[in-house]
Each structure stands twice: as structure tokens, then as C-alpha cells.
Structure 1
Amino acid sequence: MFAKAVKILILFVLFCANVKAQKQDTIVVAQDGSGKYRNIQEAVESVRAFMDYTVTIYIKNGVYKEKIVIPSWIKNVEIIGEDAFKTVITNNDHANMNKMGTFRTYTVKVEGNNITFRNLTIENNAEQLGQAVALHTEGDRLIFINCRFLGNQDTVYTGTEGTRLWFTDCYIEGTTDFIFGPSTALFEHCTIYSKRDSYITAASTSKDTKYGYVFKNCKLTAALDVTKVYLGRPWRPYAATVFMNCELGKHILPVGWHNWKNPENEKTVRYAEYMNTGEGASTKERVKWSKQLNKKEAAEYTVEKIFKINNNWYPHK
């Protein structure tokens, strides 16, 4: 009897050890070989599918030239860089390369849900020969904290209707339509840098989605020779974009918004502003089909209301 009990205990200990071995809490990526993996994609692929616990992929400083996909079966993962300026994921695909088209040019594509990125740079450094996406998102409940997104045309593509994204303390740069897509996305305390006279946003919000892009307490800046930038133009007729309590540089045009050369869009777009400051914030010459929110309307733009789509989500740092 005693021997049987000991055997059961040994089997139980071995089982627990095996479970613990499979459960990776932190995975280190380092180009110098000091981590478990030398490239990021290998680390992502080592994560077990549909986990109910959080795994951290910690990436040491370095320039990682990779084209990364975080597949739909990966969830509850934090991808953390050692330093936002020194941990760089880069690639250089563009739309006119081998007839690639816009949506295959990404440097990082996120299909999974509940993924957090922190303290790193995602870059598409392709020559300006066509659209070139740095970040392509399809997952829901994605968080980006203290990250840098570098590119030219179409830098950040928020690619799936009904998904929710939160960008906080981030830097996003580009030339044309460099934040675009149908997702609901909240940008807080971000710097938005225009590299060319063009358009910042190109939302394609669906008719039935109340909130599209919401920028709160952000700073809009530009290169010295950039003087004519629109806040946005509608990629689809019901585009929704709001700038609230943001500092708008003098590069923002007095009219503010563009109809994408289609007057019919003026009847459906949902473009609004509230209490912005800076040389580009004057509303005297804004297009008549945009809106200035009153205090009561602005109060509707809370995290709880913005992100309440199919279920509640309260992102935090």
C-alpha cells in the first residue's frame, strides 16, 4: 500500500514538473545568444495556443529585421522591449514590390487577442515607392504602451471592424493616411508626426460603429517644411474621427478635414473636435460638415463607452 502511494506521488510530481516545463512565464529574445531565442518570430511560435495565463516575451536591445505574425491562436501575451528607441523591429516591404499590395507589406501583423506591446519600435523603412505598413492589427483588445511606429504612407493599419485598440504614450509618424482602417482606437498622450503635406487619418468606420478614432491629449507635430496637413479624410463614408484636448501644430490646415474629393461623404462622415489648442486649432475656417462638440457630448468619450462593443473592456498600463 505504501509503495503504491509513493508511486502515485512520484507520478504526480513528474506531472507537475511537466506542466511547469510547458508553462513559460517569460521568454527572452536576444541577438547575442543570451536569451532563449535569437529572433522574435521563434519566440512567438513557442507560445502555447489559447493560454489562460499571461506570457511575457522580453526582447533585448537590437535591430531585428523580421516580418512577424502573431497568429489568432496566440492570446494573453505581453511583448516588451528593453528600450523603446533601441529595440527595433524593422522591414522594408512596399505595395509595388512584386505586386504585393498594401495589406501584405506589414512589419508586424497581430491576429491574436489580448496582446500588449511595450517599449519598442515597429518600423517599415521602405523607400517611398508605395504604401508600406509597419503595424497591421486584426485582433481585439490590443494595447500599445510607449511604442514608436515609423513609416511613410499607411504606417498603422487598424484592420478589422469591431476590434478595440489602445495606444498610450506612443509616437506615430508618416506621410499619407498613416493611421487608417475600421477599428475602434483610442490614442492618448501620443505624438503624431507628419512628414509630408497630406492627411493624418483615413478611417473606414462602419455605419453601425459609434466610435472610430479618438485622439485625447495628443500632440500633432510636423517636419519643418510641412505646412498643409488635414486631420483626416474618409476612406469609407461613415468615417468617425475625433480630436479632443489635443495640441495642433500650425501645419494643420484651417479647414481641418477633407472629403476625399466626394461631396457625398460630407453627409455621412463623423468628424469632430473639442477644446484643442495650438496654432492649428482655430475653428473659424473649419469645414461646415465637421462638428465642434459641446461639454455634454464630449463627456460621452470615456474609455468605458468607447470600448463597450460586444463586451466591456477597461485597458490599463
Structure 2
Amino acid sequence: MYIPVAQAEGGASITVQGQAYGATLKLNDADIATGAASVVSTDSTRYVPLTVAGAGSLYLTGIAIDYAADSPAVASHIVTVGPNEQYQSIQAALDANDSSETNRLVLKIAPGDYREKVTVTKPGVTFANADVTAKRAVTIRASYYSSNTFDAAGNFVPQDAFDLGTNKCATVTIGAGATGFAAYGITFQNDYNVVDHTAEGQQTPAVALNTQADKVYLKNSRIIGRQDTLYVQGAGNRVYVDGGYIEGTVDFVFGDANAYFTGTELHMAAFPGKNNGYFTAANTKKSGVGLVIDRCRLTVSDAYGDNAKLSLGRPWQTFAKYSQVRTADGSSYVTDVNLNAKNDTYADISSAVTYLDSTISSKVIKDRWNVWTGKDKSGKSVDVTFHPDVRFAEYASHDESGALLNPADYSKIVLGKMEALDAAQVQAKRAELLADMGFGTEAGQWAAPDGAWPFAFDQKYSTGTDTTASQPGTDSQAGTVSRHRPKAKQIANTGSSVAAIAVVVLLLVAAGVVLVVVRHKRQ
């Protein structure tokens, strides 16, 4: 394939979105990963070759070309949401207003409960608590779930109108097209298992927030659930969780995106009948960095006793080769496990979680991590994890008193590694991880927070003018706020990729390249 680029100052970045299964991607003869931006020279108008080599298949969803010279000034327009505001519901405000990454839509939301299931599909949207101190909560809540019920053929069988499956049950979904979403001082809550269905044996996946977009920023927000609370989805997507609080019991931070958490409290909540829990469940692709939990606090409910089995996480979908038998009632059990071979269905999965300079509750097990297990015919747990592909690490962890944990005291760590680093080594590791995740100030990267986000919303509204006087559904120019221009090396997503995508798709068809869509159910 050949991707056309125009002559322009400052260069450009090319991002290939999708997933390669076994195939190798090269741009200008250099290996690249899907979802990661690659910088190219634009000294002249030319075609940049994209090569797909090796045995396997390619699932291509798009190609973006971002020119440094195109980075425009960012503007915001504000609308208000609340019982006595322009819009009474969050979804109504989203549906009635356009937005983009260069003309952001800011929803200034009055404190209170918003009982609605919300989906964001447009880029450049900000949810902001109208109480800039966030002492009064803005809580978006609903009660949808996944029963994980299947028929004999393996098809999902909803039990009622609220049983939507893990991919669709979230209270708030940030769709794949909602690039650059931000939230300030917002609470995302799934009431299932938190407010209702709280009896022993009722715990099941019930997502509070599902992010499927790139460049998602969550500032001082709260995400509340029990199982599968925060789903960071999409290989190559970047999520930045800055402060705030996340609560759950089982796999409550999970997914395959590159998600960076800093200054965040991750709290293991109690649930009737449960004596075990997992903070994370990553299914990172081999090209991804995964979940990075930096300078955070892992806390545990006092309801857990000293014999609780609470772990830093377990590897979702990094499976060894095994067979599965499904019975007439839709249940299944594992047979013929081969721990020395990788499951072909999940060949590109390599679960990755890194804890850096974080405070870890003393109630976390000495083994630190768990393997992923299935049940055999007798109901006994069976390890189905392909251990060589798991990437779990713990660097410079400390206990509640601030004392560094000594790796020598943890001789039987399952799957992961623990290392004691000094301050300089911690800083170097942090810089390495952020660069690998695509955060930074280099061309093609997403700038880490330094007070100058290209889409940052001024919490004090000091430079903003509300569009309160405008009629609902209008885009009042009087309420437009000029924002700063991004740094020259920060390349924003623009519409400049449309022609390239069209050309590449035509060439794909002409070349007879088969695009194989592989979908996996989370069971």
C-alpha cells in the first residue's frame, strides 16, 4: 500500500489503526505497531510505502495522517446540563450539539444524580462538574449488567432487558469516534451490585465506564462498580487517569488499551460471600504497554480478613492451548490443557500491568498475582494461563507506612516480578513507560499533562464564556472561547487523513488483501 503525504513544514505522523494477527507491518521499511504514531518526513510530496508481510491476517480500521503544521488553535463552547439548565439530560446535550477536537463541546453539568445510560460518539467532548471544587457530586448512574449466560452453541442469551453483555452494559460508553474525551470531577457508577442486586452470589460483570477511544483524560473523577468497573478498550488507545478514585472487587480495571494511572486510589470493595478479588485484568496486545499504575494507592475494605485472597491482577485472554466442552445448558468446562503452547485464538494477547512507586495494601497476597483459571468437569480450578507471555511487574512498591517492600520477602511471586528501584531509577522507568505508551512532547505523541493540554478545560472558567443565553440545540458563537495553540511538536488529529484512507482502501481492494475481522467474546 502507498500512503500519500503532502509537502509541509514540521513533518507528519502516520497511525495505522487495527490489529495484525501474525502479520508484520512496516512503514518506510521500519517495523511499526498498530495504534502507534510513526513520524515521517514531509520535505516533499510523496508516497510512503506500508507493507504487510508474513503469514497471518490484518484487520484494518483506519489510517490517520496528522501534519504538525496543521495544528490549529483549540476552542471550546460550553452548554449547561441540569434540572433548570439548557438541557435536562447529558445525552440530550450530546445529541443536540456538534463537537470536534478543535472546537470542543464542554458540558457544564450541575451537581446531582443523572439516571441515564450515556454514549459519547463525537470527538472533543468534555464533561465538567459545574461545582469546580467537586465537593458536590455529579453522578451518572444506571444498572445494566452481563449475566454471561450462553446456549449450547455458545451464543449469548440475555436474561432480561438489562442484560446487555460486557461490551454494552456500561453506564457511560466513550465510543471509538470520541477521540479526546475528558472528564473533570465526574462520578461514573453502575448501580448493579452496588445499589441493587447486592446479595451473595449475585456479583457479575457490570461496567461503569467503557472507554473505546484514543486520548481519554479523566481528572479527579470517581468510577464505581464491583466486577469490571473500568473497561479501557482498544489496542493502541491511550487513557490518562489523573487522580480520582476507582472501586470494585473483581477485575475492576481491565482491557487492552494503554492506560496510565497517577495519584489514583484503587479500592477493593467488599461483596457478600466474596473473599477474593483482583485489582486488574489486562488483555494487552503484544505491541502494547498495558496498564501502568504510578504513584497510586491500593486500598482494601476493612471487611476483608487476614485470610482474604486479594491480588494485584490476573491475565485475561493470555491463554494456553486447551479444549472446552459446552453442555446442553450452555455451561462449559475445560479439558486437555497444554501449558506449553499458546491458544491460537489469542495468539497476540500478552497481558501487561506495571505498578510503579505505589502504596500497596498489606492485605494483598504474598504471591502478588493470580493465574487465570477455568473449571474442569469436576468443578476444580485449572490453570489455563500461557505464562511466558504474561508481563506483570512491580517496581519500588511500598507499604502503608511508606517503607519500600523488599523483593527478598516475596520469593514465590506468581507470573510477575518485583524490583526495588532508587529515585533515579524510578524516574527513568517512568519516562521509559510514558514514551512507550505514546505520551510525551515528541511528534506523533500525546502530550502528558503539564498545564497545557491541547483540550484542557479551565476549571475556574476564567477564560470561558457560557452559552447559557443561547437556545438549546444552537451553537452560539458568542460562547466560543479561544484556547492556546498546541506546541509545534504536538500533532493533533485533523481531517487531513481522509484522502489517504480512501486511496489506501482502494489499493487494498485492488491488491486483493483480505481483511479478517476477528471478534472474541469475553466469557
Residue 119 of structure 1 corresponds to 185
Change (3 A) 1:24 1:145: closer
- Contact 2:140/2:171 (<8 A) preserved: yes
**CA–CA separation in structure 1 for the residues paired with 2:405 and 2:191:** 31
RMSD: 2.3
| 2:105 is aligned with 1:55 | yes
- One-letter identity of the residue aligned with 1:312: Q
- Contact 1:259/1:265 (<8 A) preserved: no
Identity %: 25
Residue 29 of structure 1 corresponds to 81
- Partner-residue secondary structure (3-state), 1:232: coil
**CA–CA separation in structure 2 for the residues paired with 1:49 and 1:25:** 9
TM-score where L is the length of structure 1:
0.85
**CA–CA separation in structure 1 for the residues paired with 2:434 and 2:358:** 20
- Contact 2:99/2:125 (<8 A) preserved: no
Deviation at 1:50, TM superposition (A): 3.7
**CA–CA separation in structure 1 for the residues paired with 2:169 and 2:109:** 23
Residue 8 of structure 1 corresponds to none
**CA–CA separation in structure 2 for the residues paired with 1:105 and 1:164:** 22
- Contact 2:190/2:224 (<8 A) preserved: yes
| 2:342 is aligned with 1:230 | no
**CA–CA separation in structure 1 for the residues paired with 2:363 and 2:112:** 34
- One-letter identity of the residue aligned with 1:101: G
Change (3 A) 1:304 1:176: closer
Deviation at 1:307, TM superposition (A): 3.0
- Contact 2:112/2:138 (<8 A) preserved: yes
Change (3 A) 1:240 1:257: same
Residue 251 of structure 2 corresponds to 177
Equivalence map 1:1-317=2 (5 Å): 25-31=77-83, 33=84, 35-50=85-100, 52-71=102-121, 74-81=122-129, 82=131, 83=134, 85-96=136-147, 97-98=159-160, 99-111=163-175, 112-126=178-192, 127-128=197-198, 129=202, 130-196=204-270, 197-209=276-288, 211-226=289-304, 227-237=308-318, 238-261=350-373, 262=383, 264-278=385-399, 281=405, 283=407, 284-285=409-410, 286-287=412-413, 289-293=415-419, 295=421, 296=425, 299-302=428-431, 304-308=434-438, 311-316=444-449
Deviation at 1:38, TM superposition (A): 0.6
- Contact 2:76/2:103 (<8 A) preserved: no
- Contact 1:189/1:218 (<8 A) preserved: yes
**CA–CA separation in structure 2 for the residues paired with 1:36 and 1:168:** 29
- Contact 1:304/1:312 (<8 A) preserved: no
Higher RCO structure, 1 or 2 (CA under 8 Å, sep 6+): 2
Deviation at 1:297, TM superposition (A): 8.0
Deviation at 1:30, TM superposition (A): 1.0
Mean CA deviation greater in 249-258 or 285-294: 285-294
**CA–CA separation in structure 1 for the residues paired with 2:183 and 2:143:** 21
**CA–CA separation in structure 2 for the residues paired with 1:76 and 1:92:** 27
- Contact 1:307/1:314 (<8 A) preserved: no
- One-letter identity of the residue aligned with 2:301: A
**CA–CA separation in structure 2 for the residues paired with 1:277 and 1:176:** 23
Q: How many residue pairs end up in the alignment?
A: 290
**CA–CA separation in structure 2 for the residues paired with 1:52 and 1:24:** 8
**CA–CA separation in structure 1 for the residues paired with 2:316 and 2:414:** 19
- One-letter identity of the residue aligned with 1:121: T
Structure 2 regions of 5+ residues with no counterpart?
Answer: 1-74, 148-158, 271-275, 319-349, 374-382, 452-523
Deviation at 1:218, TM superposition (A): 0.5
What per-residue deviation string (whole Å, max 9, x for no partner) do you get for residues 29-67 of structure 1? 012x1x210110011112215452222111001100010
What per-residue deviation string (whole Å, max 9, x for no partner) do you get for residues 203-225 of structure 1? 0001122x100001100111112
- Partner-residue secondary structure (3-state), 1:132: coil
- Partner-residue secondary structure (3-state), 1:25: strand
- Partner-residue secondary structure (3-state), 2:362: coil
- Contact 2:259/2:292 (<8 A) preserved: yes
Deviation at 1:234, TM superposition (A): 0.2
Structure 1 regions of 5+ residues with no counterpart?
Answer: 1-22
